[in-house]
Amino acid sequence: MKQSKLFTKTKKEIPADEVSKNAELLIRGGFIHKEMAGVYSYLPLGLRVLKKIENIIREEMNKVGGQEILMSSMQPKENWEKTGRWNDLDVLYKVADSAGREVALGPTHEEIVVPILKNYVNSYKDFPLALYQIQNKFRMELRSKSGILRGREFIMKDMYSFHTSTADFEKFYEQMKEVYKTIFTRVGIGHITYLTFASGGTFAKYSHEFQTITAAGEDTIYVDESSGTALNKEVFNDEVLTQLNLKKEDLVEQRAIEVGNIFDLKSKYSKPFDLSYMDEKGVKHDVLMGCYGIGLGRLMGTVVEALADDKGMIWPHAIAPYSVHLLSLGEDENILKEANKVYESLLKNNIEVLFDDRVGVSPGEKFADADLLGIPLRVVVSKRSLDEKGVEVKKRSEEKGKIVSLNELISLLEPKS
Amino acid sequence: MKQSKLFTKTKKEIPADEVSKNAELLIRGGFIHKEMAGVYSYLPLGLRVLKKIENIIREEMNKVGGQEILMSSMQPKENWEKTGRWNDLDVLYKVADSAGREVALGPTHEEIVVPILKNYVNSYKDFPLALYQIQNKFRMELRSKSGILRGREFIMKDMYSFHTSTADFEKFYEQMKEVYKTIFTRVGIGHITYLTFASGGTFAKYSHEFQTITAAGEDTIYVDESSGTALNKEVFNDEVLTQLNLKKEDLVEQRAIEVGNIFDLKSKYSKPFDLSYMDEKGVKHDVLMGCYGIGLGRLMGTVVEALADDKGMIWPHAIAPYSVHLLSLGEDENILKEANKVYESLLKNNIEVLFDDRVGVSPGEKFADADLLGIPLRVVVSKRSLDEKGVEVKKRSEEKGKIVSLNELISLLEPKS
């Protein structure tokens, strides 16, 4: 993509009410546009990041046998009344049509996925099953000051698993812990993300969440580096420490953002809809359920919060909008010609490249924009690089660059297939 | 995918209030699930079709330089008040939060895309531009009896183009006519889809829509086969016939479904938001706009309506959920072994295959399910095919099959890359 054709431009100003680092950088970089508190549109660079996160998550969900579906945002009131959440869930948006008939705008999809499944299963032979979607959610958040970390409208991957025994559920649940670790590692925050024990919700002694360490985190966690686990402050007490075999002196307090969670739902949502199955002997039982969420925007925002420096964003390669940011410096015809040649070579080798081909923009501005946009590798064609018969390559995460030949550059870059 | 693992099953019954052919077949086949009138969830087979349509559309939008974005469903009331549509658009859903603050649920995105663009453009050099998204829309349709042809919630591709001159707009508009023809051809309904002159809306003498001939169509059109164009009944009069140089006797009346439309918006939406640019002389002008829509569910439903027969759906290869429906008939161990071998070979050759490996299901049921699901090529492994040292291959659209070797089968099937 030629930057001269990209409709967004970097900006110096941000909306006055925007206080979070992720929103500030993403808006200044032209990745997102704020529509109102907690509601953002994704612009080309931001959508590219979002889609890469989406594809990583989809691949991992498919690997564990997840079947992808796409459920509706508009949801029947009756379903929500059945579970008691029509009145009890304070974040639920309700919409009426002109005749006054109300529907819910889905903040989560237990009330939809269970009735869907009820159409297709009845025997123990139909289980286990895992369904997931990557879909837009609506939640009436009163405070929406965290940029894309906490939205009123946001894209989420929600998986629901269905089982005939606790043992089978637990096996899948353990598998999902590993899948989540893989996802956060692939996205580039595995080294600062911890499986964290949190308060148990309705049934279990604890629930499990994944927390990424960053100064802007809303949560406080206590990390045990040696085991790679952590405790949410809400369950940080002597009894729990003893149960989990953790020692207070090994734990380090950190601020963190919850980037994923997994829940044991037991029969909480299968019961109200009578989602059941017949066992080998023809005896009816409730189906057991788990659910597993990751907010895609929240994950993207967390990467910004955790990895950015004072100059701008730093994207891990796997979710960067482009792999290479190519800059032509100076308006000399030979420079532009050489830069175009490099651009064409990279495209031919299936390397995703943003080419800052803009004329009338100073080298200082181009460098500042490259730092802000945070594409992992910067490649500069300038008078100096021409003199040295190469291009100047610098990682966004490092201070110093070096001159390499075009062939070396291409062999450096494993194309993303 | 092994059919024994697919969580959906075919059904005989459909919801009592469902009258359209597309909803009947898609629900019976397990492609979609009805949540309420005009609101459907997409199940694995349906989502595969939807994603293939989405990818074809995305490829064609990118080819004309469209930049993909993803705008929000929740939209500020102020924006809709600026264009006068907060009160005037009867399909607009309005949602209030607990403090009574209202927002719109986007039925279309002119009110959002124009303010976004205003942040980034000001000179004639920034144009032309085309932005598009593939995104969920909400419209308060009072009658929702047409299955996925007309939803209260539905996925749409909406592109918006921006120009500094009428000539530039018209050039792009003509290009989009061709792009739309290409899309409908790739999806498999090019031969029954016509560029149709319809009533002009706010400005132009006519608007253009694309209509696909099918008995269930809501519209009546008059088709001129020789020129490949048509007239919507609403503009069918002597004056228009003369202007378009069409003869009444050449026209054939047909029922049709509108599968896409393209509009000249002039400055209708740029004016209220003061989306303007400076020309070469520093003089300010309004930006000119076009918009271009395709409903993905509507397109999918149209394919069902237009191409299905009395046994079920018939998917064109490019948007079929799978390329091959492999059936094993009979429970003989050799048959299952051979079918598994065929399955593995197809997978290895990147051929998308649904394998009906179910045991305890009669050949008659398997054939009926295959006809209902409408995968373009049926491949049967049975005692007879084993005896003849091959597999039986039959196109869904044809009556008779033939025996071919596994190698012949694979060379028949161009893998979709």
On whether the CB atoms of residues B386 and B338 are closer than 8 A, the answer is: yes
On whether the CB atoms of residues B20 and B216 are closer than 8 A, the answer is: yes
Domain shared by A257 and A401, yes or no: no
- Is residue A257 in some structural domain? yes
Model confidence band, residue B96 (pLDDT cutoffs 50, 70, 90): very high
Domain shared by A89 and A186, yes or no: yes
Domain shared by B302 and B332, yes or no: no
Q: Which among A184, A183, A202, A179 is positioned nearest to A263, based on CA atoms?
A: A202
Indicate whether B52 pLDDT > 80.
yes
What are phi and psi for residue A194, nearest 5 degrees? -125, 140
Domain shared by B119 and B143, yes or no: yes
Point out the domain boundary residue: B247, B281, B307.
B307
Return the DSSP state at B415: P
Indicate whether A285 pLDDT > 50.
yes
| A112 in reach of chain B (CB within 8 A) | yes
Does residue B266 come out as left (phi exceeding 0), alpha (psi in the -120 to 50 range) or beta?
Answer: left
| A43 in reach of chain B (CB within 8 A) | yes
Question: How close does chain A come to B166, measured CA to CA in Å?
Answer: 21
Query: CA B260 to CA B195: how far, in whole Å?
Result: 9
| A90 in reach of chain B (CB within 8 A) | yes
Q: Give the whole-number percent of chain B exceeding pLDDT 90.
A: 89
> Quick one: pLDDT at residue A75?
98
> Quick one: pLDDT at residue B142?
83
| B120 in reach of chain A (CB within 8 A) | yes
- Is residue B394 in some structural domain? yes
Torsion, CA B252, CA B255, CA B257, CA B261, rounded to 10: 40
Domain shared by B177 and B277, yes or no: yes
On whether the CB atoms of residues B106 and B137 are closer than 8 A, the answer is: yes
Within 10 Å of residue A416's Cβ, how many Cβ atoms?
Answer: 12
Could you tell me which residues come within 8 angstroms of residue B73 by beta carbon, excluding any fewer than 6 positions away?
A73, A136, A138, A153, B105, B106, B135, B136, B138
Average pLDDT in chain B: 95
Model confidence band, residue B389 (pLDDT cutoffs 50, 70, 90): very high
Indicate whether A53 pLDDT > 70.
yes
pLDDT, one tens digit per residue, over A407-417 is: 999 998 865 44
Over range A393-409, report the average pLDDT: 95
Q: Which among A312, A342, A358 is positioned nearest to A405, based on CA atoms?
A: A342
- Is residue B108 in some structural domain? yes
Q: Among A78-82, B202-206, B334-338, B359-363, which is the least confidently predicted range?
A: B202-206
Reduced DSSP (H G I as helix, E B as strand, rest coil) percent helix, strand, coil of chain B, to 5: 35, 30, 35
The model's pTM: 0.97
Domain shared by A372 and A238, yes or no: no
- Is residue B178 in some structural domain? yes
What are phi and psi for residue B59, nearest 5 degrees? -60, -45
Point out the domain boundary residue: A241, A274, A307.
A307
> Quick one: pLDDT at residue B279?
97
Angle at A172 between CA A170 and CA A173, to 5 degrees: 60
- Is residue B417 in some structural domain? no
What are phi and psi for residue A79, nearest 5 degrees? -60, -40
Model confidence band, residue B417 (pLDDT cutoffs 50, 70, 90): very low
Q: Which among B13, B44, B46, B4 is positioned nearest to B303, based on CA atoms?
A: B46
| A8 in reach of chain B (CB within 8 A) | yes
Model confidence band, residue A202 (pLDDT cutoffs 50, 70, 90): low
Q: Among A47-56, A357-366, A407-416, which is the least confidently predicted range?
A: A407-416
Could you tell me which residues come within 8 angstroms of residue A252 by beta carbon, excluding any fewer than 6 positions away?
A222, A223, A225
Does residue B43 come out as left (phi exceeding 0), alpha (psi in the -120 to 50 range) or beta?
Answer: beta
DSSP string, B150-216: S-SEEEEEEEEEEESSHHHHHHHHHHHHHHHHHHHHHHT-GGGEEEEEEE-TTTSSEEEEEEEE-TT
Give, for B34, the enclosing helix (H) or strand (E).
strand B32-36
Q: Which residues of B touch A142 (CB under 8 A)?
A: 98
On whether the CB atoms of residues B406 and B386 are closer than 8 A, the answer is: no
> Quick one: pLDDT at residue B183?
98
Point out the domain boundary residue: A307, A335, A351.
A307
End-to-end CA distance of chain B: 18
- Is residue A100 in some structural domain? yes
- Is residue B277 in some structural domain? yes
Question: Domains in chain A: how many in total?
Answer: 2
Reduced DSSP (H G I as helix, E B as strand, rest coil) percent helix, strand, coil of chain A, to 5: 35, 30, 35
Structure tokens at A329: 């410096």
Domain shared by A246 and A346, yes or no: no
Q: Which of B4, B7, B42, B357 to mutate to test the interface with A (most CBs of A within 10 A)?
A: B7
Could you tell me which residues come within 8 angstroms of residue A117 by beta carbon, excluding any fewer than 6 positions away?
A129, A131, A162, A275, A287, B7
Q: Among A101-110, A196-205, B271-280, which is the least confidently predicted range?
A: A196-205
Closest A-chain CA to B14: A119
Model confidence band, residue B14 (pLDDT cutoffs 50, 70, 90): confident
Instruction: Tell the residue number behind the tokens 């075999």, with chain if given.
Output: A245
Q: Among A139-148, A251-260, B285-294, which is the least confidently predicted range?
A: A139-148
Cβ of A119 and B47 within 8 Å? no
> Quick one: pLDDT at residue A38?
94
Query: CA B18 to CA B149: how far, in whole Å?
Result: 12
What are phi and psi for residue B176, nearest 5 degrees? -65, -30
Say which of B7, B41, B129 has its CB closest to residue A72. Answer: B41
> Quick one: pLDDT at residue B201?
61
CATH code, domain with A369: 3.40.50.800
Over range A225-252, report the average pLDDT: 92
> Quick one: pLDDT at residue B15?
81
Can you state the angle between helices B44-63 and B166-187, rounded to 10 degrees? 150
Cβ of B152 and A68 within 8 Å? no
What are phi and psi for residue B40, nearest 5 degrees? -130, 145
Domain shared by B390 and B278, yes or no: no
> Quick one: pLDDT at residue A51?
98
Cβ of A72 and B131 within 8 Å? no
Torsion, CA A291, CA A297, CA A298, CA A300, rounded to 10: 120
pLDDT, one tens digit per residue, over B235-278 is: 999 988 998 899 999 999 999 999 999 999 999 999 999 999 99
Give, for A45, the enclosing helix (H) or strand (E).
helix A44-63
Cβ of A72 and B35 within 8 Å? yes
Domain shared by A296 and A385, yes or no: no
Domain shared by A329 and A369, yes or no: yes
Query: CA A155 to CA B258: how far, in whole Å?
Result: 30
Domain shared by B262 and B343, yes or no: no
pLDDT, one tens digit per residue, over B310-325 is: 999 999 999 999 999 9
Model confidence band, residue A13 (pLDDT cutoffs 50, 70, 90): confident
Q: Which residues of B touch A40 (CB under 8 A)?
A: 72
Cβ of A116 and B41 within 8 Å? yes
Indicate whether B414 pLDDT > 70.
no
Three-class DSSP labels, A317-340: HHHCCCCEEEEECCCCHHHHHHHH
Cβ of A65 and B103 within 8 Å? no
Q: Which residues of B touch A97 (CB under 8 A)?
A: 93, 140
Indicate whether A266 pLDDT > 60.
yes
Q: Which among B355, B359, B362 is positioned nearest to B380, based on CA atoms?
A: B355
Q: Which residues of A touch B73 (CB under 8 A)?
A: 73, 136, 138, 153
Indicate whether A345 pLDDT > 60.
yes
Cβ of A42 and B70 within 8 Å? yes
Radius of gyration of chain B (CA): 24
Cβ of A41 and B70 within 8 Å? yes
CATH code, domain with B135: 3.30.930.10
Q: Which residues of B touch A121 (CB under 8 A)?
A: 7
Domain shared by A246 and A343, yes or no: no
Structure tokens at A410: 């291409």
pLDDT, one tens digit per residue, over B134-180 is: 999 999 998 788 999 999 999 999 999 999 999 999 999 999 999 99
Over range A137-150, report the average pLDDT: 91
What range does the domain containing B402 cover? 322-412
- Is residue B384 in some structural domain? yes
